[in-house]
Amino acid sequence: MLTQLTPDYLAIGHVTVDLYPDGRPVLGGTALYAALTAARFGLSAAVLTRGNFERYGPEVVEDLTRFAREIALIVQDAQSATVFTNRTVAGRREQTIHAWAGTIDLNGLPPHWRSSRVIHLAPVAQEIEPRQASRLNPSYLGVTPQGWMRQWPRGHEGRVRLTQLRLPLELLSRIDGMVLSSTEHTLARDEIEAVGARGLVAITRGADGAQIIDRGRSFEVPAYPVPVQNDLGAGDVFAAVLFLLRAEREPVSFAARMASAAAALRIQGLGPEAVPTRADVEAFLERRGEFRRS
């Protein structure tokens, strides 16, 4: 069984149900997008999550079963999945949370998963207890902290708002890479400064590319202009490629270009099915004469 192996890449966070404007439910969440990216880049990948997906129809369950052929998946019991509606208003994403799956118990990790080569903490809705997470022992610890910055009326559905990021020192001091969006970075200045001084931080800006901070040095990575069908999960794909390539000790500039290209391929499709392979990304860059490790 896949769960008997130590994964190269472990993502922890809620696999979500995202409701499209027509009410159609589609699987999402950073953990799912990141693990699929790692798998399609040739790594053994796994997800620890929590949720109940049967109530959202057979197509959602079938999709989860299909993705479980690519990644090892542990789903802790819950009454519901975490359910979001996302819409764009005046160029900014507005989120409403309709249901919450609850806190993920990190004690439920198989012992050998705790030392996966890359562990990606991928909370989307306050589902990971940061102090528990500080006891994990990966070679590379990547974090997308958005879920620690989201608040909503607990026990009710409601609009999500962002709050200040506050991570305990014992976790903050162990983070090797962190990716967050331009709407989040003003609420995480201390964490960006701490991680960026000795590790890697990326601030994604959609069509405006990303700012990369690597051990105090900052540079820009442009986005690739492509037709956009849907941008959900693009930042998650970007983060996964950045983390896994840095764990492979690829140069930061090359890892960032690959991450940007992977995000560009993702937004041309719809949902997790559009997560690209390593070969797709390399071919995309080769067509532009940009596939070089420097």
- Closest alpha carbon to 252 in 190, 179, 171: 179
Is 192:178 a contact under the CB 8 Å cutoff? yes
Is 123:132 a contact under the CB 8 Å cutoff? no
Hey, what are 23's tokens?
């009410």
Which run of H or of E encompasses 131?
Answer: helix 130-133
Reply yes or no on whether the pLDDT at 67 is more than 80.
yes
* Average confidence score pLDDT of the chain: 93
**Phi–psi pair at 65, nearest 5 degrees:** -65, -40
Hey, what are 27's tokens?
């699987």
In the block, tokens 């070679």 appear at: 139
Neighbours of 151 (CB within 10 A): 15
pLDDT tens digits, one per residue of 169-210:
999 999 999 999 999 999 999 999 999 999 999 999 999 999
pLDDT tens digits, one per residue of 218-258:
999 999 999 998 888 999 999 999 999 999 999 999 999 99
Q: What pLDDT is recorded for position 1?
A: 45
C-alpha span between 87 and 160 (Å, rounded): 12
Reply yes or no on whether the pLDDT at 290 is more than 90.
no
Classify residue 60 as left (phi > 0), alpha (psi -120 to 50) or beta.
alpha
- Closest alpha carbon to 136 in 165, 104, 112: 112
- Closest alpha carbon to 233 in 253, 203, 206: 206
Hey, what are 131's tokens?
């102090």
pLDDT tens digits, one per residue of 97-130:
999 999 999 999 999 999 999 999 999 999 999 9
How remote is the C-alpha of 228 from its chain's centroid?
Answer: 19
pLDDT band at 134 (very low <50, low <70, confident <90, very high): confident
C-alpha span between 101 and 276 (Å, rounded): 28
Q: Could you give the percent of the chain with pLDDT greater than 90?
A: 84
Give residues with Cβ within 8 angstroms of 202, minimum separation 6: 177, 178, 179, 180, 210, 211, 212, 213, 221, 238, 239, 242, 256, 259
Is 13:76 a contact under the CB 8 Å cutoff? no
- Closest alpha carbon to 82 in 128, 144, 130, 129: 128
